[in-house]
Amino acid sequence: MLNAEKLKDYFRMFRGLSMTDLKNIYHLVSVRTMKPGDIFIRAGCERKHIAYIRKGLIRSFLINDKGDEITTMLRWEDQFVASHDNVVWNRPSRFDFEALEPTELIQMDYDKLQQVLRSNPAYEQVRKHFLLKVIGESLERVESFILLNPEERYLKLIEQKPEIVNRVQDKYIAHILGITPVSLSRIRRRIAESRK
């Protein structure tokens, strides 16, 4: 069951808003229940969707020239997910967004959300904190590619997000780290042997 009171828990970042503010958003949302393999946003989609992940896990991926699926991003509960092709660049999504687990999304039309956010300046602080956090996370990921080698990136990931590493297939972890599944397997063996 979903009501404005519950929503307040889900949208942690939305604290500081009045119940009326929250209800304005509440009117925009729909809950979507997904099975593993279901698609939230399909490549080519131009409509702007944004969703809060109440439960579960979403990956974005595309098919490269060689025909292989490459996973570029993982998002999980208490995070927002959207195609930045749609929302930032205003173009069709290059990625599919697929649920990897039974997943519950709280889904909104992005443009309608913008209208509500514009209606009350109180929303803007929330938006600011949200966008800054996304920037921080993304820059941190860039830094890890520049400052760390693949093995170090993997060690950092299992240190910082051990639950996520255990929840998804290794091949997705490998792609996220910018390496091949074969190479990740070798890295795991190297680590295991060095700890013997």
Partner DNA sequence: TGCCCCAGTTAACAAAAGTTAATTTCGATT
Partner DNA sequence: AATCGAAATTAACTTTTGTTAACTGGGGCA
Q: Cβ contacts of residue 8 below 8 Å, gap of 6+?
A: 14, 15, 19, 22
**Alpha carbon of 154 to those of 148, 169, 174, 184: distances in Å?**
9, 14, 9, 8
Residue from the set 149, 155, 160, 191 that interacts with DNA by CB under 7 A? 149
Count of residues that bind DNA according to CB under 7 A = 19
Residue 68 interacting with a copy of itself (CB under 8 A): no
CA–CA–CA angle 81, 105, 143 (5° rounding): 25
* Shortest Cβ 101–DNA spacing (Å): 12
The residues pairing with 59 across neighbouring beta strands, listed in sequence order, are 74, 98
Q: Which does 72 bind (CB under 5 to 8 A by kind): DNA, a copy of itself, none?
A: a copy of itself
Q: Which does 131 bind (CB under 5 to 8 A by kind): a copy of itself, DNA, none?
A: a copy of itself
Q: Which amino acid is at 31?
A: V
Judge whether 172 and 74 are in contact, CB under 8 Å.
yes
CA distance 150 to 134: 23
Residue from the set 8, 32, 55, 84 that interacts with a copy of itself by CB under 8 A? 84
Residue 171 interacting with DNA (CB under 7 A): yes
Judge whether 154 and 187 are in contact, CB under 8 Å.
yes
Residue from the set 102, 128, 189, 191 that interacts with DNA by CB under 7 A? 189
Q: Which does 183 bind (CB under 5 to 8 A by kind): DNA, a copy of itself, none?
A: DNA
Positions in the binding site for a copy of itself (CB under 8 A) = 62, 64, 70, 72, 84, 87-89, 118, 121, 124-125, 127-128, 131-136, 138-139, 141-143, 145-147, 175-176, 178
